[in-house]
Amino acid sequence: MKKNIAVIAGDGIGPEVTNQAIKVLNAVAEHYGHDFNYSFCLMGAVAIDATGKALPDETITTCLESDAILFGAVGHPKYDNDPNVKVRPEQGLLAIRKVLQLYCNIRPLSIYPSLAHLSPIKEDLLQGVDMVVYRELTGGIYFGEKHTSGDGFNATDTCNYSVAEIDRIAHLAFKNAQIRRKKLTLIDKAHVMETSRLWRKVVQEIATQYPDVTVDYMFVDNAAMQIIVNPKQFDVILTENMFGDIISHEASALNGSLGLVPSASVGNITALFEPIHGSYPQAAGKDIANPIGSILSAAMMLDYFQLHEEARRVREAVSWTLNNKFVTKDIDPINFYFTSTLGELIADYVGHRITDEVNHENIELRKSTVI
């Protein structure tokens, strides 16, 4: 299979983790006989530095011509504490979501038993946790009308949703529930917000078309608590943009590291794959970031290409590294491996280049030295 992949490495740890995902995709291409071509483009702070724009036109063109997009992260501390900045790195990400109509953001959460001790949640509550968040990505308060009054004493963000916007993501979420545990939870604030009442109405109607799926409705404040006290009750979570942002980050803490969680953003044109972590500037350039979120995002891309066996192999490789304690610093601050080493190991496993002798002793040299 031949595929063109646009790569937007972005800022901070983005380039380091994305490089590991590319190593893994190359191992897939070599082993299974595919041809993946990469076009590298700019977005975020690096794009602002180079072109003055967070999302240059050239990047949009390349993405539109590609079969999929592999994205790292955007963000730079020099913009974070300055509310007066006009062009921000994050605008690039918001703009690409809008331009490509990437309306459905899918964030799956799996628990790795070997990492259960790192979770802030007790181990018995974690057993059997397997959920996926369907977050609406191109509407709501993120994209509604925004305004700051002339005197600077008043600011407004508007939350807006249309039936069509709710409808298209709801069908994707219901279809996924049908091939999972057949449960869907709509998270909203329907006792307070008009938009949430519209979500409930539309989802209630759509639910009649999926009689095999059990539907639950939950207010977002309760959901925030339920994810901690009883996370295994969730299968597919469906929610609007802002609630989805917050809930998916909360859920990602359950497995012990934000660095492990991948995501896919799909629309009608092409799809974008990115780890859910941010640009983590403190770790940039140190070869210590966890590349697994990016590598698992590449696995989601393979599934999107209908290369399911290849995707399964990548996930197996990730589990193999975690089970054998080949982990980055976020997982084990003392005995950790570098980002690049982990990428090579996972790529080698995918390409069947790992022999039985590979263990902690004989790759000790590629391991970190703690000072």
Q: Which span (61-69, 90-98, 149-157, 222-230) binds ligand IPM, by CB under 6 A?
A: 90-98
Q: How many residues bind ligand IPM (CB under 6 A)?
A: 5
**CA separation for the pair 334, 371 (Å, rounded):** 10
What is the gyration radius of the CA atoms in the chain, in angstroms?
21
Residue 141 backbone phi and psi in degrees, to 5 = -65, -25
**Nearest distance, CB of residue 114 and ligand IPM, angstroms:** 26
Q: Which is nearer to ligand IPM, 220 or 276 (CB)?
A: 276
Q: Which is nearer to Mg ion, 135 or 329 (CB)?
A: 135
**Nearest distance, CB of residue 67 and Mg ion, angstroms:** 26
Would you report the helix, strand and coil content of the chain in percent, each value rounded to 5?
A: 45, 20, 35
**Nearest distance, CB of residue 55 and Mg ion, angstroms:** 18
What strands lie across the sheet with 104-110, from one edge to the other?
35-40, 2-10, 68-73, 271-275, 262-266, 104-110, 130-136, 236-239, 183-188, 214-219
Closest CA to 10 of 307, 297, 329: 297
**Nearest distance, CB of residue 158 and ligand IPM, angstroms:** 17
Q: Which is nearer to ligand IPM, 27 or 266 (CB)?
A: 266
Contact with ligand IPM (CB under 6 A) among 9, 63, 66, 90: 90
State the residue number with the nearest CB to Mg ion: 245
Q: Which span (14-22, 40-48, 88-96, 200-208) binds ligand IPM, by CB under 6 A?
A: 88-96
90's contact among ligand IPM, Mg ion, none, with CB below 5 to 8 A by partner kind, is ligand IPM
User: 314 to 343, contacts with ligand IPM by CB under 6 A?
Assistant: none
93's contact among Mg ion, ligand IPM, none, with CB below 5 to 8 A by partner kind, is ligand IPM
Using DSSP bridges, classify how beta strands 155-157 and 146-148 pair: parallel, antiparallel or unpaired.
antiparallel
Specify whether the CB–CB gap between 192 and 222 falls below 8 A.
Answer: no
**Nearest distance, CB of residue 263 and ligand IPM, angstroms:** 7
Contacts with Mg ion, residue ranges (CB under 5 A):
245
Q: Which is nearer to ligand IPM, 45 or 184 (CB)?
A: 45
**Nearest distance, CB of residue 237 and ligand IPM, angstroms:** 14
Q: Which span (86-94, 162-170, 323-331, 347-355) binds ligand IPM, by CB under 6 A?
A: 86-94
Q: Whose structure tokens read 């807006």?
A: 160
Q: Which is nearer to Mg ion, 94 or 228 (CB)?
A: 94
Q: How many CB atoms lie within 10 A of CB 231?
A: 22
Q: How many CB atoms lie within 10 A of CB 272?
A: 26
Burial of 337: CB neighbours in 10 Å, binned 0-12, 13-18, 19+: buried
Residue 139 backbone phi and psi in degrees, to 5 = -135, -160
Closest CA to 163 of 100, 209, 206: 206
User: 239 to 258, contacts with ligand IPM by CB under 6 A?
Assistant: 245
136's contact among ligand IPM, Mg ion, none, with CB below 5 to 8 A by partner kind, is none
Site string for ligand IPM, 116-135 (x = CB under 6 A): --------------------
Specify whether the CB–CB gap between 343 and 291 falls below 8 A.
Answer: yes
Contact residues: ligand IPM, CB under 6 A: 90, 93-94, 245, 276
